[in-house]
Structure 1
Amino acid sequence: MKSRKIMALLCCTVLAAGLTGCGGSGTSSQVTSVAGQEAAGTSEAAGQKSEGAAASSDAASQDDKTFNIDLATAYASDGPAGMALLQFVADVAEQSGGTINISLFADGTLGSASDNYSSVASGDLDMAMTGLEGLDLYAPEYTFLDCPFLIKDEDHLKALLDSGIGDKLKERYEENGFVTLGWHQRDVRELASNKEVKSPADVAGLKLRLPGMTVYVDTWSALNVSSTTVAMSELYTALQTKVAEACEGGYEQMDTLKLYEVQKNIAETDHVYEFVGLFINKDLYDSMSDSQRQVLNDCAAKDLAYADQLAKENREQYKKDCLDGGMTLVDVDRDAFRDALTDYYKQQFETKWTVSTYDEVMSYAK
Structure 2
Amino acid sequence: MNFKLTTALAGVAVLAGVAAAGATELRLSHQWSDKDVRHQVAKIVADEVAAADVDLEIKIFPSQSLFKAREQYKPLSRGQLDMTVLPLSYAGGQQPAYNLTLMPGLVKNHDHAARLTSSPFMDELEKIMAEDDVMPLVHGYLAGGFAGKEGCITGPDDVQGLQTRAAGKAFEQMLAGAGASIASMASSEIYNAMQTGVLDAANTSSSSFVSYRIYEQVACYTPPGEYALWFMYQPLLVNKTTFDKLDEAQQKALLDASAKAQAFYLEEAKKEDAESRTVFQENGVEIKDMTAEEFDAWRAIAQETSYKAFVEDMDDDGQTLLDMALAVE
TM, length-normalised to structure 1: 0.74
Q: Distance in 2 between matches of 1:88 and 1:252?
A: 22
Query: What 5-or-longer segments of structure 1 have no aligned partner?
Result: 1-61
Residue pair 1:114, 1:133 contacting (<8 A) in 2 also: no
Q: Distance in 1 between matches of 2:205 and 2:33?
A: 15
Alpha-carbon distance, 1:291 to partner = 2.7
Change (3 A) 1:233 1:296: same
Bigger CA drift: 122-131 or 74-83?
A: 74-83
Alpha-carbon distance, 1:98 to partner = 4.2
Alpha-carbon distance, 1:221 to partner = 2.3
**Number of the residue aligned with 1:339:** 300
Residue pair 1:64, 1:99 contacting (<8 A) in 2 also: no
**Number of the residue aligned with 2:271:** 313
Bigger CA drift: 338-347 or 83-92?
A: 338-347
Change (3 A) 1:112 1:226: farther
Q: Distance in 2 between matches of 1:310 and 1:157?
A: 14
Which of 137, 147, 168 is equivalent to 2:93? 137
**Number of the residue aligned with 2:204:** 249
User: Is the aligned partner of 1:188 residue 2:143?
Assistant: yes
User: Is the aligned partner of 1:67 residue 2:24?
Assistant: yes
Bigger CA drift: 259-268 or 230-239?
A: 230-239
- Cα deviations by residue, 1:180-210 (Å, 9 ceiling, x for unpaired): 112123x211011123324212212321123
Which residue identity lines up with residue 361 of structure 1 in the other structure?
A
Alpha-carbon distance, 1:348 to partner = 4.5
Task: Find the structure with the greater CA-based Rg.
Answer: 2
User: Is the aligned partner of 1:103 residue 2:59?
Assistant: yes
Which of 107, 117, 120 is equivalent to 1:161? 117
Q: Number of residue pairs matched?
A: 301
User: Is the aligned partner of 1:87 residue 2:44?
Assistant: yes
Q: Distance in 2 between matches of 1:279 and 1:199?
A: 35
Using the aligned pairs only, state the percent identity. Answer: 21
Which runs of structure 2 are paired with 1:170-249 in the superposition (5 Å)?
170-185=126-141, 187-194=142-149, 195-211=151-167, 213-249=168-204
**Number of the residue aligned with 1:324:** 282
Change (3 A) 1:331 1:289: closer
Alpha-carbon distance, 1:169 to partner = 0.7
Change (3 A) 1:232 1:198: closer
TM, length-normalised to structure 2: 0.82
Change (3 A) 1:315 1:108: farther
Alpha-carbon distance, 1:345 to partner = 6.0
SS in structure 1 opposite 2:244? helix
Q: Distance in 2 between matches of 1:232 and 1:364?
A: 30
User: Is the aligned partner of 1:266 residue 2:221?
Assistant: yes
Residue pair 2:139, 2:236 contacting (<8 A) in 1 also: yes
Query: What 5-or-longer segments of structure 2 have no aligned partner?
Result: 1-18
Bigger CA drift: 131-140 or 327-336?
A: 131-140
SS in structure 1 opposite 2:139? strand
Q: Distance in 2 between matches of 1:220 and 1:207?
A: 10
Alpha-carbon distance, 1:137 to partner = 3.1
**Number of the residue aligned with 2:35:** 78
Q: Distance in 2 between matches of 1:238 and 1:83?
A: 31
- Provide the alpha-carbon RMSD of the alignment: 2.5
Residue pair 2:54, 2:253 contacting (<8 A) in 1 also: no
